[in-house]
Amino acid sequence: MARTVIITGAANGIGLATAVAFGQDGANVVLVDQKDFAAAGEAFFDHAEHTKFSMFSGDVTLNKFREQVFAETVEKFGAPNALVLAAGINKGGYALKANKETGDIDL
């Protein structure tokens, strides 16, 4: 039986690359992102065309959306085996602040 993985931030970057890698390895892939999947879907199909997958667009900070993703994943594939949190959520501003005068970086 195939593994099932849910990946947030899957419309581009690390999240999309991770989705492709799991897809190529035969996993059921659930792609989740706030962004549109038009370009991501094409890239995903090019590299993992025989993969069973679902795509969800929405805000992962909302409980109702997360519950929907999980419920529909379980219904389609069974319980997930892995969760990859690649969404870049930063509600507090910048993770790093650079001092323009000195070039120092503060976390």
CB under 8 Å to 43, separation ≥6 — which residues?
Answer: 16, 20
What is the predicted pLDDT for the residue at 97?
A: 65
Confidence category of residue 81, pLDDT binned at 50, 70, 90: very high
CB under 8 Å to 96, separation ≥6 — which residues?
Answer: 105, 106, 107
Query: Which range (6-10, 47-51, 62-66, 68-72) has the least confidence?
Result: 47-51
- Radius of gyration over alpha carbons of the chain, in Å? 16
Return d(Cα 8, Cα 33) in angstroms, integer.
Answer: 6
Return d(Cα 34, Cα 38) in angstroms, integer.
Answer: 12
